[in-house]
Each structure stands twice: as structure tokens, then as C-alpha cells.
């Protein structure tokens, strides 16, 4: 869905949103799309300089906060600083890191790092916001999961484990806070063309970048990777008032990967 097509979905006007991992990639695309739809966005990212640059690029009511989402005290302090600015209606848990490896090749240190950021980070940020949302009559939480949490992808042991946990947390929060009018959903993208992918390919396949990008694109039945803006378009709708009947749902944004693979 394009920005033009979203003009009718005005459920974000006057909303305030926290977007973790909003300094780049999918998070930045979501922050930008939310702002275009009338929301005030608070970008929370471990890369504080990147968060500030993103907020400046978005302009308007965008603000930036440096925060390691796996640090409980920093999350509490950061969210309290955001709450002072006004009611928070939306939390998008987008901060996360990737990892390549099987159970044998994944070190304990790598496994703990993935769990700390991808799982503990979602837990801490969700815990920090639900009380605030309950007191104010509701809100929306959107978690960025992955098809890796739903399908057996090769060499993605720790990452798949973490995204499976994100999906479980999504369903649990949706169930527990129905009465508080807090909706909680997830998006599970297939491979998305982000700066991370560009960097990964350049580092691991020097001189073969074009070939590898085409190979990665063909992994999706539609023949290409998703663009961050396509994920953002779905995020806009799920966090808008137009999706008020949607909670406890996981939306694969996968170019047909889950159902159309040969």
C-alpha cells in the first residue's frame, strides 16, 4: 500500500507512538510512515546519534532517545521521559539483531545476546508501557516477528528461537489485556531489503553482491525482497483505529513464502 493509498486511513492523527529500533531499516520506515499519517513519534534506539538523525529527517513532532532495550533501568528511564510528554497510544517493538548459525555453531555468548535484545527487549518495553496504557484506557502494541519464528529456516537457530518467543509474547499480551483495551499484534516479514542486508552481502560476498542480492530475492515466491516501506504500510493500518477489531494476530508479509513455496 502506498502513501497515496493510506490517505484514507487517518487513525494515527493525534496519536503518540514509541518505535524501538527506529534509527534505520524497518523501524525508520515505520517511524516515517507514522509521522506522515499524523502521529508524534519517539524513536528509541541504541544508536543515539542515528536516532537523532532520523528524528531530524522526519521533523515535526519526532523525538529521539538513546536506549539499550535490554537494560531494564534504561528502558524505565527512557519511557518515563517519553510519558512526561503526553499519552502514548502505540508501541512498536522493532529493535532486534540477526544471527547466522546452527545450534552447534551458535556460541553461548551469541545465543544470550540474541535472547537479550530480541526477547528481553520486547518484554521490557512492553512491560514499561502496559501500565501507562491501562491507566489511559487502552493502546496498541505491535511486535516485529519473522517467518523465522514460523518456519524451519537453515542456519537461523538462535534468531528463529527469539522470533518464536516474540510471537508467543504477542498472543499472551493480547489475551491478558483484552479487558484493558490494549491490542497486540505481530508482523512476520520474510527477507526485507534493509541496510543490514546490504552490509551482510558486502561483507560475506565481496565482488558477488549483485548475484547474491538476486539469489536472496528469489527465495520469496514473488521473486524479490520486501521493501521497508511495505512493512511500514501494514504497521500503519494495524496501529490505526481502522484495525480496532484486530488483536492476537500475526501477519506474514512474506511474498508467498509460507504458503506458495514449491
Neighbours of 80 (CB within 10 A): 11
C-alpha cell at 124: 521490557
* Residue tagged 493525534 (cell numbers): 14
Cα–Cα distance, 168 to 193 (Å, whole number): 26
Cα–Cα distance, 88 to 79 (Å, whole number): 10
Which listed residue (159, 177, 251, 257) is catalytic? 159
* SS3 at position 43: strand
Ramachandran angles phi, psi of 230, nearest 5°: -70, -40
Active-site annotation holds for 123: no
**Where is 41: in which H helix or E strand?**
strand 40-45
Q: Tell me the β-bridge partners of 66.
A: 45
- Cα dist. 261→35, 111, 146, 219, 220 in Å? 36, 29, 17, 9, 8
Q: Tell me the β-bridge partners of 139.
A: 182
Question: Which residues are known catalytic residues?
Answer: 159
Amino acid at each position: 500500500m502506498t502513501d497515496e493509498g493510506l490517505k484514507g486511513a487517518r487513525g494515527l492523527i493525534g496519536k503518540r507512538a514509541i518505535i524501538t529500533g527506529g534509527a534505520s531499516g524497518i523501524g525508520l520506515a515505520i517511524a516515517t510512515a507514522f509521522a506522515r499519517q499524523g502521529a508524534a513519534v519517539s524513536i528509541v534506539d541504541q544508536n543515539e546519534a542515528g536516532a537523532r538523525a532520523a528524528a531530524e529527517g522526519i521533523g515535526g513532532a519526532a523525538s529521539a532517545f538513546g536506549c539499550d532495550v535490554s537494560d531494564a533501568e534504561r528502558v524505565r528511564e527512557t519511557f518515563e521521559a517519553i510519558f512526561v510528554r503526553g499519552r502514548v497510544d502505540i508501541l512498536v517493538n522493532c529493535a532486534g539483531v540477526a544471527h547466522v548459525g546452527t545450534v552447534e555453531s551458535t556460541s553461548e555468548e551469541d545465543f544470550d545476546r540474541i535472547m537479550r535484545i530480541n526477547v528481553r527487549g520486547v518484554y521490557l518495553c512492553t512491560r514499561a508501557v502496559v501500565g501507562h496504557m491501562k491507566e489511559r484506557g487502552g493502546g496498541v502494541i505491535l511486535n516485529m516477528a519473522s517467518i523465522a519464528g514460523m518456519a524451519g529456516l537453515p542456519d537461523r537457530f538462535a534468531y528463529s528461537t527469539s522470533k518464536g518467543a516474540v510471537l508467543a509474547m504477542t498472543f499472551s499480551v493480547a489475551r491478558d489485556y483484552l479487558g484493558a483495551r490494549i491490542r497486540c499484534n505481530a508482523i512476520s516479514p520474510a527477507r526485507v531489503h534493509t541496510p543490514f542486508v546490504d552490509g551482510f552481502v558486502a561483507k560475506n560476498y565481496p565482488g558477488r553482491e549483485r548475484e547474491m542480492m538476486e539469489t536472496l530475492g528469489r527465495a520469496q515466491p514473488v521473486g524479490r525482497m520486501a521493501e521497508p516501506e511495505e512493512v511500514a504500510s501494514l504497521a500503519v493500518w494495524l496501529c490505526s483505529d481502522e484495525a480496532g477489531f484486530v488483536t492476537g494476530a500475526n501477519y506474514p508479509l512474506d511474498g508467498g513464502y509460507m504458503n506458495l513455496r514449491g
